[in-house]
Structures are given as structure tokens and as C-alpha cells.
């Protein structure tokens, strides 16, 4: 590509709301432009990077015998009603009517559509297994689109769906896809972890997320310093905590605790380890078409994990609640406890089961109970609702620590969650009709492009890896009026192009300094600088990842570049 003919609108100005390097540099270097909140154009350079990522995905999916197809973006609401997700998906699902008053949605994911494609076409176990995927625009009307391509409303996803006649075969495919996804991320030059994930409302028997490690990630993952264990904090577990400090032994009693409300104040007041305090967290649980106030109880040194809390109730999510709403139902904020709580539903963390010598709120202003034996509550609703903390002990005995991650992929053993309601069945070996056993495997293609920049940039701009660069080589003619410089530039450009190297010839009339800054901002892996030194038979190769310049004899430049690329 001749730079003089290219549309690469670079700019000094970053978008005003941009915080992340990827958001700033993809915009400044002319890879993307924003249309509206969460909507982006892929400009020529951005489109090239997307295609590179897609090619790698296609190769690795082909290697595990998955087949590409493409489903309609506009999907009939009826399918979503059949699966029961029409209501569940909430306002992220963009709904509309056509001129004949038929209801449609823009596909935010395509489980229903894919089941619809195979049902009645795959009818026998002999036609299984099968894995079908597409790389396609998705639309989710995200509540807070942000961070550029990281969380768009319209974005590109690679979504695969597999169909099986047995759970064992799904396990096999799940592992194969996990391996393929790992290869994709490795080829893209990304540092990542595969972690256990929350299977949430969709259910199913297991799910894993592929997390690109980055301080700018929105997800927190707990990783073990000893074993392979890694999990999203939404799902992370630890070894049962053993409390070493002395128990505050006391007869069961109501104790005056004037205005002592927080865990810190209580622990100081009684001089006890917070593990002997019962912490209460009030929240509103949100269901498809109802909601309720729920009290969650944990050890005083633990925090509530919202996703685990919602799962413990089968709720879609839990949300914060105002103190005034608690008062309305007769709860005494700061002094709430689980004993005889009959005003709202309660859930207790498993670590409180049979705990002795505990201190908890007495549901009366300025009073707590001491010497509480939690075994009196053995009939109550217990669940794992704690959030793993840094320093907690892994089940292997190692220590857990936190990292931030960008979720670039989510793979899921679905079972019959969609095939059963959509009545997508096959005949098994015994001739019985069974719903397909399914897996679903999503990967964020546009989010991957941003992730590459997040992990590969400096203060000057993007640093594309060889496998993701829009062009590998940039040939810079420093002075366009120097005919020798132009002649070498043109010759090298033709030679590289003819040998399949993706190359840009910067033949613009602008100053050298300006063009160099531009090359650094865009992040071509290599820039050949043809400058004054050509008179002495020398040119330079600038390597973007190290910012180093290497002198090369002009007669040898073609060979040198070919060696590098």
C-alpha cells in the first residue's frame, strides 16, 4: 500500500472519554472511529487486523474439524420465547418489529438460532458429533458501553456450538476447543490464563473463561501460586478456613453494644478476631418478574460475592438496597442477625455452619448476641457466598492471589439447556428420542484486537505482534525529493510486495519526524528508514518492539528484511 493513497487518519487527539491504551491508540492511529456510544467503524487498518485474527481462528477451528457458517443477524423473537430467554436477557436484547408487525431481535448470541439450524436436519446419533461456528456481528444494548472495543454494543464474536449424543463426547470436544482457543491466543502473542468461571443462570456442568492478563481488565481472577488453579472471583473457591485465634467463649446472652455497628467497631469492642463476628449484607434479589429483599450472613472477615449470592437464590442478580427500604420492612441496620429472622429471606455462608462462640446482631438497636451456637440454624439456607481474598489458602495448600483479566473467551458445557425447550432431538443407538447435548464457545474478536494493544503498546503507540500487524513492514522515504531514496524505496517496495510481504511505502511529502511519529503510533513491527546515509550506502531498520535502529547496507536491505519477517 502506498501511504500517499491510504486512508489512515492518524491524530494527536485521543477521544475525550478514553482511559485505556487500546481505546486511545486504536482511535489515534486510525484503526477505528466511533459512530455513537458503543458503535465503532473498523477503518482499513483495523479491518486488516480483524481479518488476521479471523484467519488464525479459522485455521485452528478447521484443525479440530469445526465448520464455519453464517447465521442471520436478525433473529425472530419466537425462537427466544421458545428457549425462555426473551424475558431473561433483559434490556441488552434489542427488540423491534418489521412492517408486518412481526417481532425480531438483533442477535446478542446465537444458541437458539444454531439449534434451529440443526433441528430436524440432524436426526440420528450417527450424524454426531458436529461443531458449527461463525464469526459475526453481535448486538447487546450494554448498560455501560465503555473502553472502546472492549465493551461495545455492536461487536464481533466468534461463536461455536457443538452437538453430541453423550456427556463424555461433549467433554472431549470441550477440551479440544479449549486447546484450540489456547493456540489462538498464543499465536496472537497474548499472555493469558484459562480459569474456572461461573456457570450462572444458564446452568450446565462447567464453564471456563479465557482471560488475557492485563491491569486494565474488568474481571478479577484468583490464581494459585503453587498449582494450576485459577478462577474468576465470581466462582473461585478456597480451602475451609481454620481460625487460629482464641474464641470469645461466653454464655448465650444479649449484650449492649451502643452504636457499635461495623465489623471494625465490633471487633475492637469485644477484642475478637472478625472471624467470630457474623456479618450481614442486605441486598435486593432480582428475578425475571419479581424481586425481594434478602439478608446474607458471612464471617466478619469475609465479603459477599454478588454472583455467588445471586446463584444461591436462582436470581438474575443482586443489587444494592437503600437503608430506608430496610427500615420499611422492620430491619435494624447495623444490628441485623440471623437468629429468629422472620422478616426477610436469609442465606448463610457455609463457613457459618455449626460455628460456635459467634457474635451476631440481635435485630434490635444497640444490641448483639454473644455466645451464639450456629448449629441452632442447621435448617436454614446455607451456600458458598464468600469471595476469595488474596492470601486465602488454595485447596492444594498454596496461596491465592489476584490478577486482573480481560475475558476474551467463554466456553460452556450447556447440556440440554437449549435443545430440550427447543425440542431439538436425535434418535440414540436404542432408537430413543433424546435432546442434543450441547457445548457453546464464544470468543470476542473485536475485544481481542483491543487486548493485543492492551498488552503490546508503549507511550508512543501500538506495538503489533507479527501475527496481528496490519502491515509488517513500513518503508520510509525520508526525503521524497531525493531521487536515489525514492528509487530504492520503490524497488524494495515492489520486491517485498512480490514476495508476499505486507508492506507500506511511506511516500508522503511530510517531514521525516512527523512520518516517524506516525509509524510509531501505528506500530508497524519494522520500519526501513531510507535517509541521508544512503549516500554512503547505508539504510536503517527500526524495530518497533525494542525501538532500536540497526544499520544495514542498502544492497543487502531486501535480504535483511526477509530474514526478519
Contacts to ligand ATP by CB under 6 A: 109, 140, 142, 151-152, 155, 157, 407-410, 442, 444, 446-447
Cβ distance to ligand ATP smaller for residue 234 or 392: 234
**Residue with smaller CB distance to ligand ATP, 87 or 548:** 87
Q: Which CB sits closer to ligand ATP, 220 or 393?
A: 220
Closer residue to ligand ATP, CB minimum distance, 142 or 490 = 142
Taking the complex as a whole, the smallest distance from the CB of residue 417 to ligand ATP amounts, in Å, to 14
> Residue 482 is placed in which grid cell?
531525493
70: left (phi over 0), alpha (psi -120 to 50) or beta: beta
Query: E strands within 418-514?
Result: 425-427, 433-435, 437-444, 457-458, 461-462, 473-477, 503-506
- Cβ-Cβ contacts under 8 Å for 264 (sequence gap 6 or more): none
b/e 288-318 (16+ beta carbons within 10 angstroms → b): eeebebbbbbbbbbbebbbbbbbbbbebbbb
- Least distance in angstroms from the C-beta of 142 to ligand ATP: 5
Choice between 308 and 447, CB closer to ligand ATP: 447
For ligand ATP, the closer CB: 336 or 406: 406
Q: Is 44 exposed, middle or buried (0-12, 13-18, 19+ CB in 10 A)?
A: middle
Tell me which DSSP letter residue 2 carries.
Answer: B
Could you write out the three-class secondary structure of 263-327?
HHHHHHHHCCCHHHEEEEEEEEEECCCCEEEEEEEEECCCCECHHHHHHHHCCCEEECCCHHHHH
Q: Smallest distance, Å, CB 153 to ligand ATP?
A: 7
| b (16+ CB within 10 A) / e for 542-565 | bebeeeeeeebebeebbebbeeeb
Angle at CA of residue 44, ends 39 and 47, nearest 5°: 65
CB of 232 to ligand ATP, least distance (A): 9
CB closer to ligand ATP, 153 vs 279: 153
Minimal distance in Å, beta carbon 438 to ligand ATP?
15
Which of residues 408 and 437 has its CB atom nearest to ligand ATP in the complex? 408
Q: Provide, rounded to whole angstroms, the least separation between the CB of residue 140 and ligand ATP.
A: 5
| Closer to ligand ATP by Cβ: residue 140 or 544 | 140
The minimum distance between CB 447 and ligand ATP, in angstroms, equals: 4
CB of 442 to ligand ATP, least distance (A): 3
CA atoms within 13 A on the CB side of 40: 31
- To ligand ATP, the closest distance from the beta carbon of 465 in angstroms equals 19
Q: Which is nearer to ligand ATP, 47 or 460 (CB)?
A: 47
In whole angstroms, give the CA distance from residue 152 to residue 91: 15
Q: Determine the residue with CB nearest ligand ATP.
A: 444
CB of 62 vs ligand ATP, minimal distance in Å: 21
562-565 — which CB contacts under 8 Å span 24+ positions?
Answer: 562/496, 562/499, 562/501, 564/526, 565/466, 565/472, 565/473, 565/501, 565/525, 565/526
User: Do the beta carbons of residue 368 and residue 335 sit within 8 Å?
Assistant: yes
CA distances from 369 to 39, 245, 254, 258, 279 (A): 55, 20, 4, 13, 13
How far apart are CB 377 and ligand ATP at their closest, in Å? 34
Nearer to ligand ATP, 165 or 446 (CB): 446
Orientation angle between helical segments 445-455 and 44-63, nearest 10 degrees: 110
CA distance 494 to 154: 38
Amino acid at each position: 500500500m502506498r501511504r500517499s493513497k491510504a486512508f489512515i487518519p492518524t491524530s494527536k487527539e485521543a477521544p475525550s472519554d478514553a482511559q485505556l491504551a487500546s481505546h486511545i491508540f486504536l482511535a489515534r492511529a486510525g484503526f477505528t472511529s466511533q459512530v455513537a456510544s458503543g458503535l465503532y467503524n473498523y477503518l482499513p487498518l483495523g479491518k486488516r487486523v480483524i481479518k488476521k485474527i479471523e484467519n488464525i481462528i479459522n485455521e485452528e477451528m478447521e484443525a479440530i474439524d469445526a465448520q464455519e457458517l453464517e447465521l442471520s443477524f436478525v433473529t425472530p423473537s419466537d425462537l427466544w420465547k421458545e428457549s425462555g430467554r426473551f424475558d431473561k436477557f433483559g434490556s441488552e436484547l434489542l427488540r423491534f418489529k418489521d412492517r408486518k408487525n412481526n417481532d425480531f431481535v438483533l442477535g446478542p448470541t446465537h444458541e437458539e438460532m444454531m439449534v434451529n439450524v440443526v433441528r430436524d436436519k440432524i436426526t440420528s446419533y450417527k450424524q454426531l458429533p458436529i461443531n458449527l461456528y461463525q464469526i459475526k456481528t453481535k448486538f447487546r444494548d450494554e448498560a455501560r458501553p465503555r473502553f472502546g472495543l472492549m465493551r461495545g454494543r455492536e461487536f464481533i464474536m466468534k461463536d461455536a456450538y457443538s452437538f453430541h449424543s453423550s456427556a463424555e463426547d461433549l467433554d472431549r470436544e470441550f477440551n479440544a476447543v479449549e486447546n484450540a482457543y489456547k493456540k489462538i491466543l498464543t499465536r496472537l502473542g497474548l499472555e493469558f490464563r484459562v480459569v474456572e468461571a461461573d456457570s450462572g443462570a444458564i446452568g450446565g456442568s462447567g464453564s471456563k473463561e479465557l482471560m488475557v492478563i492485563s491491569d486494565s481488565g474488568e474481571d478479577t481472577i484468583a490464581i494459585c501460586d503453587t498449582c494450576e488453579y485459577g478462577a474468576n472471583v465470581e466462582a473461585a473457591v478456597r480451602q475451609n478456613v481454620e481460625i487460629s485465634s482464641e474464641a470469645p467463649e461466653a454464655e448465650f446472652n444479649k449484650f449492649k453494644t451502643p452504636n457499635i455497628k461495623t465489623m471494625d467497631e465490633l471487633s475492637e469492642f469485644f477484642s475478637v478476631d472478625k472471624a467470630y463476628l457474623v456479618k450481614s449484607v442486605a441486598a435486593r434479589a432480582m428475578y425475571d418478574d419479581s424481586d425481594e429483599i434478602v439478608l446474607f450472613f458471612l464471617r466478619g472477615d469475609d465479603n459477599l460475592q454478588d454472583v455467588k449470592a445471586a446463584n444461591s437464590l436462582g436470581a438474575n442478580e443482586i443489587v444494592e438496597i437503600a437503608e430506608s427500604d430496610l427500615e420499611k420492612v422492620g430491619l435494624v441496620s447495623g444490628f441485623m442477625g440471623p437468629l429468629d429472622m422472620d422478616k426477610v429471606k436469609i442465606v448463610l455462608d457455609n463457613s457459618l455452619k455449626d460455628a460456635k462462640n459467634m457474635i451476631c446482631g440481635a435485630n434490635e438497636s444497640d444490641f448483639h448476641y454473644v455466645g451464639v451456637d450456629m448449629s441452632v440454624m442447621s435448617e436454614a439456607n446455607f451456600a458458598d457466598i464468600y469471595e476469595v481474598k488474596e492470601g486465602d489458602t488454595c485447596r492444594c495448600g498454596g496461596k491465592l492471589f489476584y490478577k486482573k483479566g480481560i475475558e476474551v473467551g467463554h466456553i460452556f458445557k450447556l447440556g440440554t439447556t437449549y435443545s430440550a425447550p427447543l425440542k431439538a432431538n436425535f434418535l440414540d443407538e436404542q432408537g430413543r428420542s433424546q435432546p442434543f447435548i450441547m457445548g457453546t464457545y464464544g470468543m470476542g474478536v473485536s475485544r481481542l484486537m483491543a487486548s493485543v494493544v492492551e498488552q503490546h503498546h508503549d507511550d508512543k503507540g501500538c506495538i503489533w505482534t507479527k501475527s496481528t500487524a496490519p502491515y509488517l513492514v513500513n518503508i520510509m522515504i525520508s526525503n521524497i525529493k531525493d531521487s536515489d531514496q525514492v528509487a530504492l524505496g520503490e524497488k524494495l517496495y515492489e520486491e517485498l510486495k512480490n514476495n508476499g510481504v505486507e508492506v507500506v511505502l511511506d511516500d508522503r511529502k511530510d517531514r521525516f519526524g512527523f512520518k516517524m511519529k506516525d509509524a510509531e503510533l501505528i506500530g508497524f513491527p519494522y520500519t526501513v528508514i531510507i535517509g541521508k546515509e544512503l549516500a554512503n550506502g547505508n539504510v536503517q531498520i527500526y524495530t518497533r518492539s525494542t525501538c532500536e535502529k540497526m544499520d544495514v547496507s542498502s544492497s543487502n536491505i531486501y535480504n535483511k528484511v526477509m530474514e526478519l519477517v
